[in-house]
Structure 1
């Protein structure tokens, strides 16, 4: 989701008469203590029922019919995507479908329901500020993995691995496989010692080369925040070689951890 484009589009919406805009922010986070029994289903049911009861009392058949049409579509979306639930659901909708936006997000939301002339955008604006385009850089000697994230979800993952024979970094697209350590150098103590000696001598030069590649990724992908994660020496040396400012260095080796665990550790 391009949240900037979506906000701009929704800010221009203003509906009169009975064809109003429905807004929903629904907390479905299974890790939330208040959601252990799937209580989000009850919150959703009660929220929709309250609007329906209010509109029935108002005796505005056109507006009631419009709301019921929206309710039917939102019901269908939730049932079709129930197995893919994450932490929250955001919906903006009108009966004539001029406005229809429904998104499952990996962000905990506050339960809010609105039926009014304009969409309620405060939570969406807060998400924009709290979860911007972010680059997470995992570094371990001759291996670097990049997690490109937006709105607390992974957009892309790729790696750089150093070919120590040619002193060049190769891009490895997709999830990184293999073992940690000195890839391509074998497993004997002699080979490891040889690499460690080369690493001590060449790490600044090696990281300077790959840092320029990472700076370009940061610019092209429009990262607003950058985190470098790795053991003390490697993370600090790489950060020093980068031109882009780094928001935080996390001195922990997480290169071989699952991306979801890394995201949770870094972004919470």
Structure 2
């Protein structure tokens, strides 16, 4: 399920007074100065214990039983995933399992715990508003790379390379080190010869790949689109696409790690 749909689904949940919803935002970012000693473990332990103590004092045996069931599920999830933590965990759960959503995110969270009749989604919504499902298009002459991301997490990557003799863009499923001066049959073009062809044909080249990018944006449900590349290439791709582009960044980052690309886009 798409995250924005998951948020809408959670916002419609309402439970009774004994079968409440547990909401957790847990900061597990190892680069956070306040997390150097694994303080998240203390925060988690204290957060769960505080709710349990309150329910014991309130003498509501049914609600306490439900909370303890949720507590066990939360502790198991954390234990199983501890070696693969990122920067934070978002989790929603009920004892009857009608609500269970847990995701490890590559964004720092503000640690918060709630035990209420409805999920507390504010922080989740704020994160998604800042980092919605997006497509980042990196272009470098006859090479195009697409990075798809959501709330700081890389969902997919696609690579395209143009055969400049046939004018056909070929897609690769994995990382591909394209050679910008390779023509048909692998014959190497001199740099000045390639540059002449690029200047003469770039509009036609980008016009031929733009429909592929538009279709990908539609099929994948991108809410924002970013283009990164040198001025002429990035602006030409933008001009040829039908989908609106939110921002153009005039840098050559095609060979950079995806995480660095996302930092450039989302800061």
Same-fold status (TM-score > 0.5): yes
> Are 2:237 and 1:238 equivalent residues in the alignment?
yes
Aligned partners of 2:165 and 2:183 also within 8 Å: no
2:194 corresponds in structure 1 to 195
Matched residue, 1:263: 262
Cα displacement (A) at 1:4: 2.9
Q: Is the 8 A contact 2:161 2:178 kept in 1?
A: no
Matched residues in 1 for 2:210 and 2:78: separation? 43
Report how far residue 198 of structure 1 moved.
0.6
Distance 1:155 1:67 in 2: 33
Choose 31-40 or 91-100, whichever is displaced more.
31-40
Deviates more, 1:209-218 or 1:178-187: 178-187
Task: Report what 2:108 is aligned to.
Answer: 108
Aligned residues: 266
Match of 1:82 in 2: 82
Q: 1:169-197 deviations in whole A, cap 9, x for unaligned?
A: 111123x2225643458797x62221111
Rounded to whole Å, the distance in 2 between the matches of 1:180 and 1:121 is 47
Where structure 1 has 5 or more consecutive residues not aligned to the other structure, the ranges are none
Query: Aligned-pair distance for 1:13?
Result: 2.0
- Identify the residue that residue 223 of structure 1 maps to in structure 2: 222
Please name the residue that 2:162 is paired with. 162
**TM-score, with length taken from structure 1:** 0.92
Contact 1:180–1:256 under 8 Å retained in 2: no
Per-residue deviation, residues 80-132 of structure 1 (Å, max 9, x unmatched): 00111111111111112221111111222211111111111111222232221
Greater Cα shift, 122-131 or 152-161: 122-131
1:27 aligns with 2:27: yes
SS at match of 2:190: helix
1:254 equivalenced with 2:253 (yes/no): yes
Quote the Cα distance in structure 2 between the aligned partners of 1:61 and 1:97. Answer: 19
Helix, strand or coil for the counterpart of 1:81? helix
- Using a 3 Å threshold, how does the CA distance of structure 1 residues 231 and 180 change in structure 2: closer, same or farther? farther
Cα distance in 1 for residues equivalent to 2:176 and 2:147: 15
The equivalent residue for 2:17 is: 17
Distance 1:220 1:98 in 2: 30
Gaps of 5+ in 2: none
Displacement after TM superposition at 1:8 (Å): 3.0
Rounded to whole Å, the distance in 2 between the matches of 1:256 and 1:180 is: 12
User: Does the 8 A contact of 1:139 with 1:228 survive in 2?
Assistant: yes
TM-align CA RMSD? 1.9
How far apart are 1:227 and its partner, in Å? 0.8
